[in-house]
Amino acid sequence: MFEEIEKNIYRIKVSLPRNPLKTLNSYVVVGTERNLLIDLGFNRDECYADLSAGLRALQLDMERTDIFLTHLHSDHSGLIHRVAREDTRIYMSRDDAKINSGFLRDKLATWEKIERSYVKAGYALDEQIKTREANPAFSAAPAAYFETEDIDDGALIDLGGIVLQTVHTPGHTPGHMCLFDAERGVLFSGDHILFDITPNITEWEDLDNSLGAYMESLKRVRRMPVRRTLTGHRENKGDFVTRIDEILAHHETRLREVRTILAREPGLTAYELAARMTWSINVRCWEEFPPGQKWFAVGEALSHLRYLECGGVIRREEVDGRYRNFTI
Ligand SMILES: [Zn+2]
């Protein structure tokens, strides 16, 4: 139901059915003045059942509870309308709040725009439609637009007895935010740092070279005196610096792989490149990738291509409405 992690910090495990992420960690921080609920789960009945059971068991007074969303993704924000009351303060970074409001005010138009960019990356349009239905980013998002209290880097959230500081960590999303309890060295890392899986880095209209930004954000938090990392998914036990170094090394390996593939086969689209990259997924071939996973893989390929393009290592060329990539 819930688990006490540190004094006045609790975790509620929210299961994410039919999703490779498996679970979302929703955290509750209890202060003397206010409580803070960090991240929620998909807008799905199964997620709501887990979260509401945890909140009930904790006997959390929602009148004294604010909500903090580490980023806009629907596995973190989806349940907002089922949990927030009319007067609940909902914190989100200014950058993600802007993207989120654009998306929730006109979901279909925003999605079609993303799909057009994926066609340029090599996707076939009929495959896109399958992806849309399979993608919880679209189907399990918050039911409607919601007002947020937009926050910037370094803002302090004082709960009474516990003060949390926001740390802007762009990369996974343009406005991703971690929260730091400096007194105890506890970092709520959202999806910036995960232990069992590598956070997905895709391309964003609002954040050029998202992989470059992500790696900078990793290096930034690496300098912080973090004793305990409370991740947004799955296990939250592991060494902070070791894990950051592993993730950085993972992307360096990936970047080398992309260069090698393109040197061998110049002119690939991001889609074709993704089909040739190495993935830790339990399927035999690219055709067997579940549509949602294929979508994430192409996003990963795009962010790595853009990183290399910004570094002057590759160039892309538009040929018949598709971006083709070449090493320089
Ligand atoms: Zn997530």
Candidates 162, 137, 136, 166; CA nearest to 149 is 166
User: How far is Cα of residue 106 from the mean position of the Cα atoms in its chain?
Assistant: 21
Candidates 57, 73, 66; CA nearest to 24 is 73
Residue-averaged pLDDT of the chain: 94
From the CA of 242, how far away is ligand 1's center (Å)?
21
**pLDDT the model gives residue 53:** 97
From the CA of 238, how far away is ligand 1's center (Å)?
18
From the CA of 153, how far away is ligand 1's center (Å)?
20
Using the predicted structure, report yes or no on whether residue 51 has a pLDDT greater than 70.
Answer: yes
Using the predicted structure, report yes or no on whether residue 129 has a pLDDT greater than 70.
Answer: no
Is 3-105+138-247 assigned to CATH 3.60.15.10? yes
Split at pLDDT 50, 70, 90, the class of 263 is: very high
From the CA of 62, how far away is ligand 1's center (Å)?
23
CA–CA separation, 151 vs 114, rounded Å? 26
From the CA of 39, how far away is ligand 1's center (Å)?
9
From the CA of 266, how far away is ligand 1's center (Å)?
34
From the CA of 13, how far away is ligand 1's center (Å)?
13
| pTM, two decimal places | 0.95
Are 51 and 178 spatial neighbours (Cβ–Cβ below 8 Å)? no
Per-residue pLDDT reduced to its tens digit, 139-175: 889 989 999 999 999 999 999 999 999 999 999 999 9
Domain with CATH 3.60.15.10 in the chain: 3-105+138-247
Question: What integer is the mean pLDDT of 67-78?
Answer: 97
Beta bridge partners of 187: 180, 229
Strand-pair category, 23-30 with 322-327: unpaired
Output phi, psi for 104, to 5 deg.
Answer: -75, -25
**pLDDT the model gives residue 124:** 81
